Amino acid sequence: MNTPNKLTLARFCITPVFLAVLLADFPHKFLCAAVIFAAASVTDAIDGKLARKHDQITAFGMLLDPVADKVLTTAAFLAFLKMDLCSVWCVMLILTREFAVTSMRLIASAQGVVIPANIFGKIKTATQMAFVLLILLLGEAVLYVPRFAGCADLYVAVSNVLVWITTVFAVVSGVIYFFQAKKRIDFFK
């Protein structure tokens, strides 16, 4: 197994650790979760660059790299949902998009076609990862920076807005992916 694929698998392994830390009850859990999430997010940037640089692009990587991203960001959104930092509608729309895109990839794969992530999906993922990190760091600030101590309601509102923005990116990129995939695969085969 090549290094980019090992990094993809590492992201799968890091995700439950991230979720456990974020849902635990101890001081500075938001900061610890942010560090873990950032480390996992960096593996996403590194694996793609390494694969392209060393000509190690594989079907395994093209299919599982986006799934690893989805697992990581979904864990964050589920935790945010549990902590009342986002709407259930956001999580439902994001998950629906992710299942739909993954299903299209599976259909394509069964037909011998590999459809890699497009630029819109990459923008969606980058936005999700950046906003998750921002929400985590804001949570840390609200709890431990005296200047932000009275901003809990504002924090919840900002978190909700950021997650809604990522939801819009997710839905739009999913629709674009569908129309691009429709040209390459037969959905009724």
Contact in structure between 108 and 184 (CB atoms under 8 Å): yes
> Is 189 domain-assigned?
no
Question: Quick check: 16 pLDDT over 70?
Answer: yes
pLDDT on residue 188: 78
Number of domains in the chain: 1
Q: Does residue 162 form part of some domain?
A: yes
Confidence of residue 78 (pLDDT cuts 50, 70, 90): very high
Q: Residue 59: its pLDDT value, please? A: 67
Give domain status of residue 167, yes or no.
yes
Tens digits of per-residue pLDDT, 165-175?
Answer: 999 999 999 99
Do residues 96 and 172 make contact, with C-beta atoms less than 8 angstroms apart?
no
The Cα–Cα gap between 49 and 44 comes to: 9
Please give the pLDDT value at position 110: 86
Q: Which residue has the higher pLDDT, 2 or 131?
A: 131
Q: Is residue 86 part of a domain?
A: yes
Q: What mean pLDDT do residues 14-34 have?
A: 97
Q: What is the percent of the chain where pLDDT is above 90?
A: 62
Residue 22 belongs to a domain: yes
Residues 173/122, Cβ–Cβ less than 8 Å:
no
Beta-sheet strands, E only, within 67-127 = none
Q: How many CA atoms lie within 13 A of 59 on its CB side?
A: 8
Q: Indicate whether 58 belongs to any domain.
A: yes
Higher pLDDT, 167 or 180: 167
Tell me what pLDDT residue 164 has: 97
**What is the per-residue pLDDT across 108-155, written as a single tens digit (0 to 9) for each?**
888 888 777 788 988 998 999 999 999 999 999 999 999 998 899 999
CATH of the domain at 48: 1.20.120.1760
- pLDDT tens per residue, range 63-74: 788 889 999 999
Task: Please give the residue range of the domain that contains residue 159.
Answer: 3-182
Q: Could you report the per-residue pLDDT of 84-106, keeping only the tens digit for each?
A: 999 999 999 999 999 999 888 88
pLDDT for residue 58: 76
Cα distance between residue 25 and residue 27, in whole Å: 7
Query: Is residue 128 included in any domain, yes or no?
Result: yes
pTM: 0.91
Report yes or no on 163 lying in a domain. yes
